[in-house]
């Protein structure tokens, strides 16, 4: 699991990556921000820090995932669940070690990143991003979620951005930070997002990008490079959140 948190008033941030023993990684990332002079802790160091902060260890595997991993390792196709067996391209790519083909297939799947942006009555913005990353990723792979500037960035003077999708794209482009930069240069929220997503399309790579964003005035937006998008919005005067339509930034 990977996570990051950033506050726009001070630009303080904390992040963790390659966490395999703890479930609430966004809380660990917050402790990194609040209790250390560091920005990012990974792997065993993140585990040791979480233990020192009193977090409870969890087994993040399930019986289903253990069965799938065992069946692939031992080449026992009949032990695979039906829904996974239909994705035979995963298995063949894993066995062949053809990583580009593997990731090309994986990039067409949906992602499980959780992005949250909050703003208080004083205009202070905070962005939190938490993810398990790409399924069946190569060991040690880290995406954009814990990388400040790539998957997460905010500045009270302009706004906040959180990304999901194929993290390698936003890492290469620093999508979250550049979107804020474009707002700093005078673009509207939608103009800034559109410019950032056109840069994603210009890479001409497989994979998709999605994001949510807010500007300093509290206007919100969501965007996708591949499909219609939406996001959920709630303020203190509302009893329940409402779904707001976003934009689909298509390749030019």
pLDDT tens column, 176-212 = 999 999 999 999 999 999 999 999 999 999 888 999 9
Q: Could you tell me if 93 and 205 lie in one domain?
A: no
pLDDT tens column, 73-119 = 666 555 555 555 544 555 555 555 555 555 555 544 445 689 999 99
**CA separation (Å) from 79 to 60, 66, 150?**
21, 11, 39
Domain residues for the domain of 226 are: 114-248
H or E, element range at 155: strand 152-155
Task: Indicate whether 140 belongs to any domain.
Answer: yes
Exposed / middle / buried, residue 130 (Cβ in 10 Å: 0-12, 13-18, 19+): buried
Which positions are annotated as active-site residues? 113
Distance CA 2, CA 18 (A): 6
Task: Indicate whether 188 belongs to any domain.
Answer: yes
pTM: 0.84
Q: Could you tell me if 82 and 178 lie in one domain?
A: no
Q: Where are the beta strands (DSSP E) in 24-83?
A: 40-42
Percent of the chain scored above 90 by pLDDT? 70
Task: Indicate whether 222 belongs to any domain.
Answer: yes
Q: Could you tell me if 243 and 130 lie in one domain?
A: yes
In the three-class reduction of DSSP (H, G, I as helix; E, B as strand; rest coil), residue 77 is classed as helix
Q: What is the CATH number of the domain that holds 226?
A: 3.60.20.30
For the chain, the domain total comes to: 2
Q: Could you tell me if 72 and 197 lie in one domain?
A: no
């Amino acid at each position: 699991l990977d996570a990051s948190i950033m506050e726009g008033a001070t630009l303080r941030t904390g992040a963790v990556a390659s966490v395999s023993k703890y479930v609430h990684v966004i809380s660990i990332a917050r402790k990194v921000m609040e209790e250390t002079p560091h920005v990012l802790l990974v792997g065993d160091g993140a585990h040791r820090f979480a233990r020192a902060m009193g977090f409870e260890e969890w087994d993040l595997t399930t019986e289903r995932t253990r069965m799938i991993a065992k069946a692939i390792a031992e080449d026992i196709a009949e032990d695979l669940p039906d829904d996974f067996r239909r994705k035979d391209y995963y298995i063949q790519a894993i066995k062949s070690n053809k990583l580009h083909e593997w990731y090309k297939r994986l990039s067409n799947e949906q992602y499980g990143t959780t992005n949250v942006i909050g703003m208080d009555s004083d205009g202070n913005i905070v962005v939190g991003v938490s993810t398990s990353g790409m399924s069946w990723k190569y060991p040690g792979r880290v995406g954009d979620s814990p990388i400040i500037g790539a998957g997460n960035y905010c500045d009270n003077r302009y706004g906040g951005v959180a990304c999901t999708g194929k993290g390698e794209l936003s890492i290469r482009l620093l999508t979250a930070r550049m979107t804020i930069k474009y707002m700093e240069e005078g673009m509207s929220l939608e103009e800034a997002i559109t410019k950032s997503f056109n840069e994603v399309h210009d890479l001409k790579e497989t994979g998709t990008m999605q994001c949510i964003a807010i500007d300093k005035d509290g206007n919100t937006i969501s965007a996708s490079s591949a499909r219609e998008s939406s996001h959920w919005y709630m303020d203190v005067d509302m009893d329940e959140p409402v779904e707001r339509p976003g934009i689909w930034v298509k390749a030019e």
